[in-house]
Copies of this chain bind each other. A is one copy, B any other.
Amino acid sequence: MAAYFQNIDKIKYEGPDSQNPLAFKYYDKDRLVLGKRMEDHLRFAACYWHTFCWNGLDPFGGDTFQRPWHQIPNAMEAAMVKADVAFDFFSKVGVPFYCFHDRDVAPEGATPRESVSNLHRIVDILGQKQEETGMKLLWGTANLFSHRRFMSGASTNPDPEIFAMAALQVKEAMDATVKLGGANYVMWGGREGYETLLNTDLKSELAQMGRFLSMAVDYKHKIGLKGPILIEPKPREPSKHQYDFDTATVYGFLKQYGLENDVKVNIEANHATLSGHSFEHEISTAIALGIFGSIDMNRGDMQCGWDTDQFPNNIPETALAMYYILQGGGFTTGGLNFDAKVRRQSIDAEDLFYGHIGGMDVSARALLIAEKMITDGKFAQITQDRYAGWRDEFGQQVLAGKLGLDAVAQRVIDRNVDVAPKSGRQELIENLLNSYI
């Protein structure tokens, strides 16, 4: 059954002129970009859930994919076949990392102990497969939203016993992440929010969530998980409102509980747009606030108000995201995880490859464009020049807090002249950006 991709060989780089849809045209992993290999810049990961767990279901219709491993009645057996298929795919498509939720890889058991035992058995298998293939774990996470017990939230549940169930899953998923050498641990609170304020104690739920995260941070230190915990912001869906609305909201939450040094954000492109922000806004905000961690690369459809999780394909937009990431220092423990799924009409095994190849090639082109922008330097120079006044004496005094409001006001009264604004040159800069593409 690992033979699902038997007709497909390892994907190779063939260059821009290749007509082979099962080859990379831009992603050349050993190519040096600004002194570092493409693979080390991009740190690609494939995800378990969309690629191997989703069956094509949407709110209006059923399973279109009919993957063979979804037909196996015994859940643990299915999980093992799924792991075979997954690592075969990872190896062939050539991503160095993967990501998973606990329930993606191992089935829920009849009791908490059985669930834990299922996970332990599969984690051992994943460990072996990592050794055999050289694959690494970018991050692990726990699914605290699919099971009906979490319908009213996990850490923010009105019932503390359900909070406890969530605590068990997170503890185990963190243990698994450490065991598999995961570089980060992610939390996404799909049900940490509300359907209606009418039955919600907002203050209690926020306090519960703060406590939960504090406990996770303590446990991270206890077990020696080296990388950061990453929170993945999203404004809504499935909830009407989700507490981790966007990067700025998460920052406020971290400051409230004093966790801003242990926790960073995993920014998803489609979540950014659902919250009314551009992807690059969320990236830049996280960098400015010192909490940038990793990205879930995908794209949404701005005209569909839900998470479409499509593979990225817009070259200029992806280039901009990559440019800001590089300007912010690039990835450290983080990476570029494809939280993306092929369309439910893309039902063939090959389609999973087309999706990832397209996403990897677009990201590689984006990286090459960002390289040009940085090497050329004009782009950054324009902004630097625009703010030059803030590096002069008066600007520096203000920023240093040496002048009060009245002192600054008095300066204007003394000078008694207006200040003319300068053109923001947006069109010029947009043209410049296009010249790199």
Contact = CB atoms under 8 A, between A and B. Distances in A.
A278 interface: yes
B112 A434 contact: no
Nearest to A243: B248
Given A111-B418, A342-B427, A284 B197 contact: yes
Interface in A116-172: 116, 145-152, 158-165, 167-168, 170-172
20 contacts: A60-B238, A61-B145, A61-B150, A111-B416, A116-B413, A151-B347, A167-B409, A168-B408, A171-B406, A171-B409, A197-B278, A203-B287, A216-B405, A237-B306, A249-B249, A302-B302, A347-B421, A351-B425, A354-B425, A358-B430
Given A163-B398, A195-B424, A196-B424, 13 more contacts: A60-B190, A61-B191, A168-B412, A172-B409, A198-B383, A201-B387, A216-B405, A248-B253, A255-B255, A313-B433, A345-B424, A351-B427, A354-B428
Interface string A189-229: 01100011111111110111001001110110010000000
A214 B252 contact: no
* Chain A at the B interface: SS class: helix
A316 B208 CA distance: 30
Contacts of A57: 59
A313 B64 CA distance: 36
Copies of the chain in the assembly = 4
A277 interface: yes
Nearest to A148: B64
Chain A interface residue number, banded: 35 or more
Nearest to A250: B252
A275 interface: yes
Contacts of A162: 419, 421
Contacts of A420: 149
Nearest to A275: B276
A77 interface: no
Given A167-B405, A215-B405, A431 B146 contact: no
